[in-house]
């Protein structure tokens, strides 16, 4: 799913050390040629009647421009660091193969194989990967390279965040879990390193690029991933679930998708940020699932725009017009009011008369995405949140305690 950098040619500016050095070297090269010039058709050097005084030779010592040599040394150091990083980290990257039973035209069970990547989370045998890598699998195997392969079981999964944790009997001797970095302070332009198993056969392939964008939102058929890291490090099918690392070898993301018209790397790879992985994975290991906070407002209401506000005679031109609530949900228990009647506008039916939600915990809400993002990224089950509403043209506040999202509503 879902750039090349053009550097201007080096051109020393006036007064720069590089310009002076080039000028001095050119002078030293040109002067001897002038002094040794032979006249066409002549037999000797160019001379004058009067004796020429002995030339004064000034020796100019060309010294390296400050800063150039350290750059070459740092380039060598970066290369050495990458090599050392790969030797240290690559053993913790695994190849995951799955078998899923599909139904054929005659409703028979047909095995279908899949593959992806993952990485060692701890010494207890836990492997982290994407949920979509192991979704629906009845058999899972984890390969540590060579002939070391182990059957694996799913410990926990979170389809909403596209993460899953597997368990193997033992981690091979000498293999160390990945060190966790942080994603909150990442910057565009930082080095990004991906290690995985593209196409399921090129095990432990390392690609290097940069972080090309941050805080992307990735919408799939079943869920929305927020805060996603974008990188131009080559990622292909089979890389899903593998680690995205910084130059120190610390985990900064889990590679999960690419944007590509052809299905192969087009320079836009997407990774789940490590801060979310750090939050979700321990809960999956402990509980087997991740409890997502739920308010209980059906997304059948309307995002208010100035045009809709004018058409429906609403008191504000932003917010969410609530149409329906889930019975016994936090919103229902808090006393929110759903639609009271319906009206027709431009051949469309609108459920109106309900509360208008304008803010959550004093943060403005203008779209369903605003509400979902706040609940998913900044709230927890059991947390009390304050809802700012407009009812019959008057502002009021209500308090709701978030509950666990019912399984029936999860993807």
Which tens digit of pLDDT belongs to each residue from 348-398?
Answer: 888 999 999 999 999 999 999 999 999 999 999 999 999 999 999 899 999
- DSSP characters over 287-321: HSS-PPEE--B-TTSEE--HHHHHHHT-S-SSSEE
Burial 66-104 (b: 16+ CB within 10 A, else e): eeeeeeeeeeeeeeeebeebbeebbbbbbbbbbeeeeee
Cβ neighbourhood burial of 36 (10 Å; 0-12, 13-18, 19+): exposed
Report the alpha-carbon distance of residue 62 to residue 187 in Å, rounded. 39
* Claim to verify: residue 127 and residue 212 sit in the same structural domain: no
CA dist list (Å): 294 to 10, 41, 278, 286, 364 = 56, 99, 21, 21, 18
The Cα-based distances of 34 to 28, 104, 187, 329 in angstroms read: 11, 88, 55, 94
The one catalytic residue among 158, 162, 232, 376: 162
Residue 254 resides in a domain: yes
Catalytic position from the list 115, 240, 338, 379: 240
25-58: pLDDT as tens digits:
333 333 333 333 333 344 333 333 445 455 555 5
So what's the pLDDT on residue 105?
A: 60
Task: Say how far apart CA 300 and CA 305 lie, in whole Å.
Answer: 16
395 phi/psi in degrees, rounded to 5: -85, 140
The verdict on 398 and 311 lying in the same domain is yes
| Last-in-domain residue among 287, 311, 337 | 287
Query: What range defines the domain where residue 311 resides?
Result: 293-409
Q: What CATH number does the domain containing 360 carry?
A: 2.30.42.10
Residue 106 has what pLDDT? Answer: 62
Average pLDDT, rounded, for the chain: 84
| 228 lies in the same domain as 272 | yes
Catalytic residue among 132, 265, 275, 379: 132
Residue 180 forms part of a structural domain = no
Those residues of the chain that have pLDDT short of 70 are 1-73, 103-109
Q: Is residue 148 part of a domain?
A: yes
- Domain of 266, CATH number, reads 2.40.10.10
Answer yes or no: 132 catalytic. Answer: yes
- State yes or no: is 4 an active-site residue: no
In terms of Cβ atoms closer than 10 Å to its own Cβ (0-12, 13-18, 19+), residue 247 is: middle
Domain-embedded: residue 70: no
What is the C-alpha to C-alpha distance for residues 24 and 31, in angstroms, rounded to an integer?
A: 11
Report the alpha-carbon distance of residue 162 to residue 132 in Å, rounded: 6
Q: Report yes or no: 398 and 336 within 8 Å, Cβ to Cβ.
A: yes
Which residues are bridge partners to 151 per DSSP? 141
Q: Are residues 247 and 319 in the same domain?
A: no
Task: Confirm whether 162 is a catalytic residue.
Answer: yes
Total count of domains within the chain: 3
Where does residue 325 rank: exposed (0-12), middle (13-18), buried (19+ CB within 10 A)?
buried
Q: Is residue 236 part of a domain?
A: yes
Same domain, 338 and 391: yes
Q: What is the pLDDT of residue 300?
A: 79
**Pick from 368, 350, 357: which is nearest to 321 by CA?**
357
**Residue at which a domain ends, from 287, 317, 345:** 287
CA distance 223 to 162: 8
Q: Is residue 253 part of a domain?
A: yes
Nearest to 289 by CA among 406, 139, 119: 406
At 28 the pLDDT is: 32
């Amino acid at each position: 799913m879902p750039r090349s950098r053009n550097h201007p040619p080096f051109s020393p500016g006036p007064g720069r050390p590089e310009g002076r050095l080039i000028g001095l070297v050119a002078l030293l090269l040109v002067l001897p040629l002038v002094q040794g010039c032979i006249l066409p058709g002549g037999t000797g050097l160019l001379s004058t009647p009067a004796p020429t005084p002995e030339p004064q030779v000034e020796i100019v010592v060309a010294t390296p421009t400050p800063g150039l040599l350290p750059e070459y040394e740092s380039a060598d150091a970066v290369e050495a660091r990458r090599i050392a990083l790969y030797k240290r980290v690559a053993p913790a990257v695994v190849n995951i193969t799955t078998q899923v039973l599909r139904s054929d035209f005659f409703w028979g069970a047909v095995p279908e194989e899949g593959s992806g990547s993952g990485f060692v989370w701890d010494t207890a045998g836990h492997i982290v990967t994407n949920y979509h890598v192991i979704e629906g699998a009845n058999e899972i195997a984890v390969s540590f390279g060579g002939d070391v392969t182990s059957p694996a079981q799913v410990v926990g999964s979170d389809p909403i965040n596209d993460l899953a944790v597997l368990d193997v009997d033992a981690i091979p001797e000498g293999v160390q879990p990945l060190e966790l970095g942080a994603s909150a302070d990442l910057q565009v332009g930082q080095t990004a390193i991906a290690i995985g198993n593209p196409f399921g056969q090129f095990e432990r392939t390392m690609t290097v690029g940069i972080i090309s964008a941050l805080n992307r939102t990735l919408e799939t058929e079943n869920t929305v991933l927020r805060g996603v890291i974008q990188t131009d490090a080559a990622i292909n099918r089979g890389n899903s679930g593998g680690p995205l690392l910084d130059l120190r070898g610390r985990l900064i993301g889990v590679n999960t998708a690419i944007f590509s018209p052809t299905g192969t790397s087009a320079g836009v790879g997407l990774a789940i940020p490590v801060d979310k992985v750090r939050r979700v994975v321990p809960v999956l290991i402990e509980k087997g699932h991740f409890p997502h906070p739920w308010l209980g407002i059906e997304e059948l209401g309307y995002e208010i725009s100035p045009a809709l506000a004018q058409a429906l005679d609403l008191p504000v031109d932003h917010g969410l017009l609530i149409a329906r609530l889930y019975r016994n949900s936090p919103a229902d228990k808090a006393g929110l009011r759903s639609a009271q009647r319906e009206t027709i506008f431009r051949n469309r039916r609108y459920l109106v008369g309900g509360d208008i939600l304008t803010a959550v915990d004093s943060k403005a809400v203008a779209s369903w995405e605003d509400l979902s993002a706040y609940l998913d990224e900044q709230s927890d089950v059991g947390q009390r949140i304050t809802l700012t509403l407009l009812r019959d043209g008057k502002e009021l506040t209500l308090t709701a305690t978030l509950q666990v999202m019912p399984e029936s509503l999860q993807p």
